[in-house]
């Protein structure tokens, strides 16, 4: 039963003539828009080559379970739950690029459905669908929906968590079942990605700034504490492994471009209209809050409160922490991205109420058209063959498979960071390298304490006789931002090899050395 104390939460939409959506109808549309989001994320997801982080997923999830448990004791325990889930998924659906990325598309579908439901609790069906469409097309979310990492799932869990909070606030009584669900979702989210714990201060803001939830602050505090206790083993492992996983962190210099564009929007042509809509929503929200304070009305449960706390608090804390701790990357903002879509939809709704006659409708329709038009080219860019960190592993595999002869050797650039090494092309598509011998391989990743292969240097491998009788050696060097490495070439020349072929790819250079 809806609490009469929550009338302030719905007064603003009702005053504008909007009728709240019946739950059954809202659930149906949430499912439909969620399926649309699955389709938009999955479309073309098989085209880009896998890249370093996805290689870590595939290689960790395909190793035998005892080997995976052994690895997690040394590195990547913070991703252990995700790897275990992907292990079960791959056992059923296989390790293709589309297969391992599809769970993320499903997660974006859940995320979008939750956004539709959340918006429908504060406005019309049209507004709810708009919020869901914006979530389905938001560059950060659609990118995570085609990536074999846990970020899309954290966005889904964050959206579900906010839905649970709103449903608790809309009902009378203790809402014990709601708080149990809240605890479970928060703990699961942290186990999938440790930084989801940054939602805790955001939830605190939501609770303190809305009367219906503030009256339940003790239940919120206890439920949050239980979730943090349940997730504490992961935090301990993350602390113990902070040095082992430090090389995985992408150290970005925090600039306005990184925050205003890269975190959620990828391109300025999308970021501009998006921030304009968010600013419109914020300006009118501040006006409403001031009016409510002057009238002495108790603050109700407002969608703007939920979305702004969810959007700004976690990322604000993370950005502030970069002064002391390195390792920020724009993808860490994924679990706050649904709130960005909601704020954009709120901006459109505010535009629709401006002026008299058709002015508001024209402004709102124009804004929606601009956002959708801006989203399409971003999605196309994200699905190019080299969209993932300039990775061209598909090309490497195809070239070696077409040109290598039985008895050939191969040497991969081991001078790059582990997540960029060209040997990951072989690890993610081993059948393409059946004709070549990996001359530097020391310990395959399945038997290693970490997720990647352990290797020898060329002089050491030569001293062990690895190059004896091998007259043709393929060398695969990393080529990043147009600059090619030359790792190991002088060592090969010292062994009597000379270059006879050179193939320049998008993210690599493939050389043939013969003697």
Q: What is the pLDDT of residues 497-512, one digit of tens each?
A: 999 999 999 999 999 9
Residue 3 above 50 pLDDT?
A: no
> Any idea how long the chain is?
515
Alpha-carbon distance of 273 to 366, in angstroms, equals 11
pLDDT higher than threshold 90 for residue 14: no
Q: What H or E segment, with its residue span, contains residue 268? A: helix 268-295
* Tokens (6 digits) for 259: 């925050």
The yes-or-no verdict on residue 144 having pLDDT over 90 is yes
For the chain, the structural domain boundaries read 19-382, 393-514
Q: How far is CA 435 from CA 62, 339, 402, 509, in A?
A: 22, 50, 10, 19
State yes or no: pLDDT of 238 exceeds 50. Answer: yes
Output Rg (C-alpha) for the chain, integer angstroms.
26
- The whole-number pLDDT of residue 300 equals 80
Average pLDDT of the segment spanning 20-24: 88
Q: List, for residues 272-296, the tens digit of each pLDDT value.
A: 999 999 999 999 999 999 988 888 7
Q: What is the per-residue pLDDT for 20?
A: 76
Closest CA to 82 of 54, 114, 44, 115: 54
pLDDT > 80? residue 434? yes
Task: Note whether 248 and 77 are within 8 A (CB).
Answer: no
Give the least confident one: 125-129, 303-307, 330-334.
330-334
Residue 464, SS3 per DSSP: coil
d(CA 340, CA 467): 56
Q: For residue 441, what are the β-bridge partners?
A: 455
* 410, β-bridge pairs: 438, 474
Q: pLDDT tier at 16 (50, 70, 90 boundaries)? A: very low
pLDDT of 9 reads 38
Q: How far is Cα 380 from Cα 377, in angstroms, rounded to an integer?
A: 5
Average pLDDT (381-407) is 96
Bridge partner list, 508 = 478
Q: What is the arithmetic mean of pLDDT over 334-339?
A: 97
pLDDT tens, 90-107?
A: 999 999 999 999 999 999
Q: How confident is the model at residue 356 (pLDDT cuts 50, 70, 90)?
A: low
What is the structure's pLDDT at 295? 83
Q: Nearest CA to 316 among 266, 259, 385?
A: 259
The 10s digit of each residue's pLDDT in 194-224 is 999 999 999 999 999 988 899 899 999 999 9
Q: Is the pLDDT of residue 326 over 80?
A: no
Q: Across all residues in the chain, what is the average pLDDT?
A: 91
Q: What is the pLDDT of residue 423?
A: 96
pTM of model > 0.85: yes
Residues near 96 by Cβ (< 8 Å), separated by ≥ 6? 46
Q: What is the pLDDT of residue 235?
A: 87
Half-sphere CA count of 370, side-chain side, radius 13 A: 19
Minimal CA–CA distance to 507: which of 396, 424, 426, 376?
A: 396
pLDDT of residue 251: 56
Distance between terminal CA atoms of the chain?
82
Question: Which range has the worst mean pLDDT, 75-89, 286-300, 466-480?
Answer: 286-300
pLDDT tens digit string along 166-199? 999 988 878 899 999 999 999 999 999 999 999 9
**Cα of 465 vs its chain's centroid, Å:** 45
pLDDT at 17 over 90: no
In this structure, the dihedral spanned by the alpha carbons of residues 257, 262, 267 and 270, taken in order and rounded to 10 degrees, is -100
Q: Within 13 Å of residue 167, how many CA atoms lie on the same side as its CB?
A: 18
Between 295 and 48, where is the model more confident?
48
The 3-state secondary structure of 341-368, one letter per residue:
HHHHHHHHHHHHCCCCCCHHHHHHHHHH
| Position 480 confidence tier, pLDDT thresholds 50, 70, 90 | very high
């Amino acid at each position: 039963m809806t609490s009469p104390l929550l009338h302030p939460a719905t007064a603003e939409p009702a005053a504008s003539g909007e009728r709240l959506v019946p739950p059954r109808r809202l659930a149906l549309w949430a499912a439909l828009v969620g399926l649309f989001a699955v389709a938009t994320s999955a479309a073309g997801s098989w085209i880009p080559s896998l890249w370093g982080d996805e290689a870590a997923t595939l290689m960790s999830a395909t190793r035998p379970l005892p080997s995976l448990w052994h690895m997690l004791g040394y590195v990547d325990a913070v991703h252990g739950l995700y790897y275990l889930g992907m292990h079960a998924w791959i056992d059923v659906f296989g390790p293709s690029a589309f297969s391992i990325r599809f769970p993320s598309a499903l997660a974006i579908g859940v995320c979008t459905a939750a956004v539709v439901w959340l918006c429908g609790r504060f406005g019309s069906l049209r507004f709810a669908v708009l919020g869901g469409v914006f979530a389905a097309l938001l560059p950060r979310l659609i990118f995570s929906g085609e990536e074999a990492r846990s970020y899309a799932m954290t966005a889904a869990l964050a959206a579900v968590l906010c839905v649970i909070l709103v449903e608790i606030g809309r009902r009378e009584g203790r809402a014990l079942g709601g708080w149990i669900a809240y605890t479970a979702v928060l703990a699961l989210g942290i186990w999938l990605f440790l930084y989801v714990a940054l939602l805790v201060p955001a939830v605190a803001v939501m609770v303190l700034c809305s009367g219906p939830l503030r009256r339940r602050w003790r239940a919120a505090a206890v439920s949050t504490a239980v979730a943090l206790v349940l997730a504490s083993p992961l935090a301990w492992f993350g602390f113990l492994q902070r040095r082992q996983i430090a090389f995985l962190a992408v150290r970005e210099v925090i600039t306005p471009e990184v925050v205003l564009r890269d975190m959620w929007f990828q391109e300025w042509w999308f970021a501009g209209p998006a921030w304009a809509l968010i600013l419109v929503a914020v300006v009118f929200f501040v006006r409403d809050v001031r009016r409510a304070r002057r009238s002495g009305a108790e603050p109700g449960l407002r969608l703007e409160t939920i979305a702004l706390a969810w959007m700004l608090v976690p990322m604000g804390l993370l950005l502030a922490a970069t002064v002391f701790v390195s390792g920020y990357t724009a993808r860490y903002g994924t679990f706050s991205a649904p709130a960005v879509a909601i704020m954009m939809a709120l901006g459109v709704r505010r535009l629709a109420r401006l002026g008299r006659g058709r002015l508001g409708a024209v402004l709102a329709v124009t804004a929606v058209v601009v956002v959708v038009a801006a989203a399409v080219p971003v999605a196309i860019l994200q699905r190019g063959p080299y969209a993932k960190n300039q990775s061209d592993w598909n090309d490497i595999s195809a070239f070696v498979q077409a040109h290598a002869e039985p008895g050939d050797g191969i040497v991969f650039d081991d001078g790059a960071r582990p997540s960029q090494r060209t040997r990951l092309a072989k690890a993610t598509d081993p059948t393409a390298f059946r004709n070549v011998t990996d001359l530097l391989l020391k310990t395959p990743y399945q038997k290693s304490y970490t997720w990647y292969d352990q290797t020898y240097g060329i002089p050491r491998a030569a001293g062990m006789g690895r190059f004896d009788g091998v007259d043709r050696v393929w060398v695969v060097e990393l080529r990043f931002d147009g600059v090619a490495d030359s790792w190991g070439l002088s060592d090969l020349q010292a062994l009597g090899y000379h270059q006879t072929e050179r193939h320049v790819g998008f993210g690599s250079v493939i050389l043939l050395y013969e003697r």
